[in-house]
Amino acid sequence: METDKVPAVIIFAPVLGDSATLRALIEVEQVGVLLCRDKNEFYALLNDSTLAAAVTEEGLAQCSLDELSECLRRQPTWSDIPMLLLADAENRNIDTGRFARLSEIGNFTVLTRPATRLAIVMALRSALRTRRLQFDLRDQLHEMTDHAQQLESLVGERTARLEQEVLGRRRVEHALVEARRLESLGRLTGGIAHDFNNILQVIAGSETLLRMLLGGAVDPRLSRSLDGIRRATTHGATLTQQLLAYARRQPLASIVIDMQVHMDSSLELLQRMLPSSVQVSLKIAPHIWSVLADPTQLDAALLNIASNARDAMDDVGTIAMDSANWTLPDPMMPEAAHLVGEFVGILLTDSGPGMSGDTAEQAFEPFFTTKAVGKGTGLGLSQVYGFAVQSNGTAFIRRENAGLTVGILLPRSQEKIVLVELNTLEKRSDGLAGLNILYVEDNPDVAESTVALLQSLGAIVYHVYNADTARESDLSAIDLVFSDVMMPGKMDGVEFARWLATGHPNLAVVLTSGFMLSPERLHGLDVQFVRKPFVIQTINEAILQAIRKNAQGKRRSID
């Protein structure tokens, strides 16, 4: 006999007449019927799909109440199979104690024989109704279990998303805290660089004037001393430029850079700078975007990263440059979680010993270095960070299983690349002879040395200490205004240049500074800019360039 779980009423009635009668009554209720030939079949069919069980006292006599109790205990919690027992009213051969135990082991209803057809049918219908209610409860429990599992799954998914969001938020918060800390350091170092640049300007100007005053016949010892002053001044100027790059307080000559072309030239630059024992490779993604940045500062940043890698590898190893497009935020670029938009990433990975976590956290700070005294200034990576952030991108350090990666992210430029033809500016044969220059500088020592330099070039110099005084001057006879940016008064150099552009548009302007709070303010101004400390050749070329540009503008206006 098949014992598959099918909804049916099972009958265990060894007497054929009883089984036939019960089967006929049950089939009228349009439910399935299964007949059991012995107690083992009866036990096997007592499962959670059984609708009810009808057993006679003869069938029950073949069963062990302990075995029957064990079968019924295996039911799920929602199941309690209705059991109909047909027994004679008086039968001394049947142990009445067995009937008393039935209520303890199962859901038994006892019908005495002879039972009327109506009594059996009503008892059967009641049993079926009870069982169907149990099935409804079963289905509801299953639905609740399914809903609970779905809810648990949703809670798990949401918890996982929340954990990722919390981790992402923590990364962004950490990046913001780090950015604020570096910003504070930047302001401090920028202020120091400003004062130091003014000192260097006095030294550089005085050294140039001494050479001019001494002429060609200079004592070799004095010449060596002057050379030492020039080298020290140049080195100091380099240090302050790196400080200002970190502080993001130096004007950037940003242009649209073709990264395919620039990265190829950068590879050649690094190969010339590094020893042959350091192998440099370059991988550029197809269709690499252009960026808006200062190419000179970008090259300086790449050189700083490469020189640090070279020193870490003791002049032997590999540096892999990788340039690719990035749309941020991107899970593959967690270091830039705070950036949004399209960027070009330049990653340099070396084969050196890597960097500890504590060192990596401080590596971008100015003057931080792990090199021996005299081997490094601690300003290389700070320049990288300052340049990247001032260019509206970022720089980061990624610790690898082997080696170290330093990356720069620069924003994509949608502007077209313009090829600029570079023409060497020819000096006027008479220098700046007869040129009337209004010089605005609040530092008397800087003003004294610069006025002497300009006068040595033949210029006629009128010096004032601030822009407020300059505005009150007679500008009708002035050919060019040469002004510092940072100075006291109601108006600084940039605001003064804007005032001149409005009221005296035909007047050439050259601005100079060793430190600017907001270099982006120069955007849109048609002026030349010279970084302090400058040398006589630099200021001469800047003035001539401004005069020539101004003259071309006048000719265009006339035409």
Residue 402's domain is classified under what CATH number? 3.30.565.10
Predicted pLDDT of residue 182: 63
pLDDT of residue 232: 79
pLDDT digits (tens, 9 = 90+) for 358-400: 888 888 876 666 665 545 555 678 778 888 988 889 999 998 8
The pLDDT-based confidence of 217 (bands split at 50, 70, 90) is: low
281-311 residues labelled b (16+ CB within 10 A) or e (exposed):
ebebeeebbbbbbbbebbebbbbbbbebbbe
Report yes or no on 265 lying in a domain.
yes
- pLDDT tens for 241-250 read 665 655 555 5
In angstroms, the CA 502 to CA 397 distance is 46
Residue 34 lies in a domain: yes
**Same-domain status, 345 and 383:** yes
Count of structural domains, the chain = 3
- Residue 426 banded pLDDT, cuts 50, 70, 90: very low
220-247 vs 117-214: helix crossing angle, rounded to 10 = 160
Asked whether residue 151 is assigned to any structural domain, the reply reads no
> Do residues 529 and 407 both lie within one domain?
no
Percent of the chain surpassing pLDDT 90 = 36
Of the candidate ranges 146-150, 424-428, 442-446, the one whose mean pLDDT is the lowest: 424-428
Q: In whole angstroms, how large is the CA radius of gyration of the chain?
A: 47
How would you list the strands of the sheet with 528-531, edge to edge?
A: 460-464, 436-440, 480-484, 508-513, 528-531
pTM: 0.46
Instruction: Please give the residue range of the domain that contains residue 87.
Output: 8-115
Please tell me the distance from the alpha carbon of residue 161 to that of residue 157, in angstroms, as a whole number: 6
Burial 60-98 (b: 16+ CB within 10 A, else e): beebebeebeebbeebeebbebbbbbbbeeeeeeeeeee
Q: Are 123 and 9 in contact (CB under 8 A)?
A: no
Tell me, yes or no, whether 407 and 440 share the same domain.
no
Is 321 inside a domain boundary? yes
**Residue at 161 is within a domain:** no
pLDDT tens sequence across 145-175: 899 999 999 998 999 888 888 887 887 787 7
Q: How many Å apart are CA 406 and CA 322, to the nearest integer?
A: 11
Does the residue 416 lie in any domain?
no
260, 284 contact by CB (below 8 A): yes
Q: What is the pLDDT of residues 185-205, one digit of tens each?
A: 666 666 676 677 778 778 887
pLDDT above 50 (res 424): no
| 279 shares its domain with 399 | yes
Whether residues 285 and 388 fall in one domain: yes
Measured CA distances, 181 to 15, 29, 178, 367, 378 (Å): 96, 84, 5, 15, 17
State the pLDDT at residue 209. 76
Each residue's pLDDT tens digit, 506-550? 899 999 887 666 677 777 788 888 888 888 888 888 899 888 887
Do residues 385 and 338 share a domain? yes
- Give phi and psi for 86, each to the nearest 5: -100, 115
- What is the rounded average pLDDT for all residues in the chain? 83
Residue 406: its pLDDT value, please? 94
**Is 496 a residue whose pLDDT tops 90?**
yes
Same domain, 43 and 104: yes
Regarding whether 376 and 340 lie in a shared domain, the answer is yes
pLDDT digits (tens, 9 = 90+) for 251-288: 566 788 999 999 998 898 888 888 999 999 999 999 99
Look at residue 34 in the predicted model and tell me its pLDDT: 93
Q: What is the pLDDT of residue 401?
A: 85
Domain boundary among 396, 411, 426: 411
CATH number for the domain that contains residue 539? 3.40.50.2300
